[in-house]
Amino acid sequence: MELIKVKNLTFGYNSSNDILKKINLTVNEGEFLTIVGENGSGKSTLIKCILGLNKVSKGEINVEGRIGYLPQLTDIQNNFPASIEEIVLSGTIPNHPRSLFYKKEDKQKAKEIMEQLELYEMRKKCFYELSGGQKQRVLIARALCATEKILLLDEPVNGLDPKIVTEIYSLLKKLNKQNKLTIVMISHDVHRVVKYASRIVEIESGKIKRDIPAGEYTCGGEK
């Protein structure tokens, strides 16, 4: 089943300068898709279009169901007083957007997800005191609360040490296999990702340069 379908997408923040040019991309259920490319190639812009954060005028984007999004960490979060539990729970807001408080079923869902990601025991801990890897797990848990199908991650391992990176990728792989979650991830380090992803899409200057199964990916050169 096609979960995300991008057709002929052209996008720029101002009309004179298109960042994305005629992008065609289909994401199927169960895939672990990684989008790679240089800084400024348009990866994040594409993700923001898919999420509806950028208003698209040229081209079409169809998304099945809700996407669980994992944005990059912001400066504000460095000293924001928030417990793991509060953050993960906030992912359930779209399930009952009009409710004043979190419903029992939402709390239950958040609890199950926190247990799966080994966060439940430390749920009262403060977010900014966590390690980089733990922070990413919290954000993954929050995204999981918001979706059942698609997880979309924007460079989740930026600045983490190699051991933690492996841990995060393994976790994503596990979610991909066990929870049947479709994963779309932007990444810098292609070398490591190849082992986990099922498909690699390379973007260069706003165009898709390559779209191949991960097994066929060789760095730099053509396949």
Short-list 198, 202, 175, CA closest to 187: 202
Residue list 141-170, contact with another protein (CB under 8 A) = 142-143, 146
CB closer to another protein, 16 vs 79: 79
Q: What is the chain's Cα-based Rg? A: 18
Residue list 167-206, contact with another protein (CB under 8 A) = none
Q: Provide, rounded to whole angstroms, the least separation between the CB of residue 67 and another protein.
A: 7
Rounded-to-10 torsion of CA 26, 28, 31, 36:
10
Stretch that binds another protein, among 78-86, 162-170, 193-201, 205-213 (CB under 8 A): 78-86
Q: Which of 21, 56, 59, 102 binds another protein (CB under 8 A)?
A: 102
State how far the Cα of 172 lies from the Cα of 141, in Å rounded to an integer. 11
At 50, the amino acid letter reads I
Stretch that binds another protein, among 32-40, 139-147, 158-166, 205-213 (CB under 8 A): 139-147
Stretch that binds another protein, among 11-19, 72-80, 160-168, 178-186 (CB under 8 A): 72-80
Q: Which of 56, 122, 126, 194 binds another protein (CB under 8 A)?
A: 126
Q: Provide, rounded to whole angstroms, the least separation between the CB of residue 179 and another protein.
A: 19
Residue list 8-67, contact with another protein (CB under 8 A) = 51-53, 66-67
State how far the Cα of 178 lies from the Cα of 157, in Å rounded to an integer. 21
Q: Where would I find the H helices in the chain?
A: 43-51, 84-90, 104-116, 132-146, 162-178, 190-193
